[in-house]
A = this chain, B = another copy of it.
Amino acid sequence: MTSINIGVIGYGYWGPNLVRNFAEIPEAQVKTISDFKPELLAKAQARYPTVQVTTNCRDIFTDPKIDAVAIATPVSTHFDLALAALQAGKHVMVEKPMTVSSEQAMRLIEEAERRNLVLMVDHTFVYTGAVRKIRDLVATNVIGDIYYYDSVRVNLGLFQHDVNVIWDLAVHDLSIMNYVLPFQPCAVSATGMSHIPGQPENIAYLTLFFEGNLIAHIHVNWLAPVKVRRTLIGGSQRMIVYNDLEPSEKVKIYDKGITINGNHSAEKVYQMLIGYRAGDMWSPHLNMTEALRTEGLHFIDCVKKGDRPITDGEAGLRVVRILEAATESIRKQGRLIELDKIRVAA
């Protein structure tokens, strides 16, 4: 298997980015693109004259020359398409969120494992220089014990009709958090609101609880006057501000925090003195390679070597599980929903 043939299903918003990146990877080529809108296929054909196009995605599944399938369709179709692809013996890269339910996600993981196929979820941000740097900083204890992870992802548009704002926007934060933090949340409390009758929530707030005193919070909003993409990570040693809208200094590390001195004896705990430290701020140079290129190379590499991708099916499942629980909590106006330890079918 020298070069990987890829079929791409869906050429709407994200599909063209997948095609463009796979087209530029030496060890891969896009063989077929499918979409049910002929006008999108015409665009694809004009841009990539040697690629085959079809309105029937079955043509991709039945083509024995195709090794892998990338799925960039609405989330409600992910499960059927990914399952069919796996059953046809194709490796799969599927858009986030992986599926509309954790049951579906587990079924896909099981199918891929049984057939020894690569199943990767396109958690794009995990492949950015910024997020990888943050993971390094956490993993090498530069931050110390993690106290909180707080993220805001708001802007005006694009309202979705079939999923609420957390499935559209919080999915990014959850996939980043899943990669960056060495812990899994154990419960979620979420609130939200829809401002268009009959439509899903367009604003939502999630609190995630972990073992110990780590807490995470995500604010997502489709109806904000300004665009904000900012994450604060507080630790015992240092704190991070990750602002994805900054052109170059996306990650800043603050050597700031509190110091606790004082009498820890049981009866006098209230007398402890809290001090404040402020040191230098530092913004590391980041790898600016397009995330989707890094990700595409990783996918091809996993396919060739039979490796498990960083953003494998289980990473996708963990995120879907939280999205499910948060949606349930929103319906119950903040009621705490426990997140069971996830077990994949053996």
- Name A196's contact: one of B205, B217, B274 (CB within 8 Å): B274
Q: Give the contact stretch, choosing among A61-69, A89-97, A106-114, A280-288.
A: A280-288
Q: Which residues of B contact A329 (CB under 8 A)?
A: 334
Q: Give the contact stretch, choosing among A25-33, A78-86, A224-232.
A: A224-232
- Name A270's contact: one of B47, B198, B225, B283 (CB within 8 Å): B198
Task: Say if the beta carbon of A195 comes within 8 Å of chain B.
Answer: yes
Task: Say if the beta carbon of A73 comes within 8 Å of chain B.
Answer: no
- Name A195's contact: one of B147, B154, B278 (CB within 8 Å): B147
A283–B281 touching, CB < 8 Å: yes
Residues of A in contact (CB 8 Å), total 73
- Name A279's contact: one of B47, B49, B272, B285 (CB within 8 Å): B285
Q: Within the assembled complex, what's the spacing in Å between the Cα atoms of A61 and B220?
A: 52
- Name A189's contact: one of B154, B189, B199, B252 (CB within 8 Å): B189
A336–B336 touching, CB < 8 Å: no
A258–B334 touching, CB < 8 Å: no
B156–A193 touching, CB < 8 Å: no
Interface hits, A196-227 → B, CB 8 Å = 196-199, 203, 205, 207, 209, 213-215, 217, 219, 221, 223-227
- Contact string, A167-202, partner B, CB cutoff 8 A, digits 1/0? 000000000000000000001010111111111000
Q: Within the assembled complex, what's the spacing in Å between the Cα atoms of A280 and B157?
A: 17
- Indicate whether A334 sits within 8 Å of B249 (C-beta atoms), given known contacts A240-B225, A241-B225: no
Q: Which residues of B contact A335 (CB under 8 A)?
A: 334-336
- Indicate whether A247 sits within 8 Å of B227 (C-beta atoms), given known contacts A213-B195, A334-B335: yes
B239–A232 touching, CB < 8 Å: no
- Name A281's contact: one of B203, B215, B249, B260 (CB within 8 Å): B249
- Indicate whether A209 sits within 8 Å of B284 (C-beta atoms), given known contacts A154-B232, A241-B225: no
Task: Say if the beta carbon of A324 comes within 8 Å of chain B.
Answer: no
Interface hits, A139-170 → B, CB 8 Å = 147-148, 150, 152, 154, 156-157, 159, 161-162
- Contact string, A307-346, partner B, CB cutoff 8 A, digits 1/0? 0000000000000000000000100111110000000000
Q: Which residues of B contact A197 (CB under 8 A)?
A: 269
Q: Which residues of B contact A150 (CB under 8 A)?
A: 203, 219, 221
Contacts A198-B272, A203-B215, A283-B283 supplied; 4 other A-B pairs, CB < 8 Å: A226-B241, A245-B247, A280-B282, A282-B283
**9 A-B Cβ contacts within 8 A?**
A147-B193, A150-B219, A159-B274, A189-B333, A189-B334, A199-B269, A203-B234, A280-B283, A282-B283
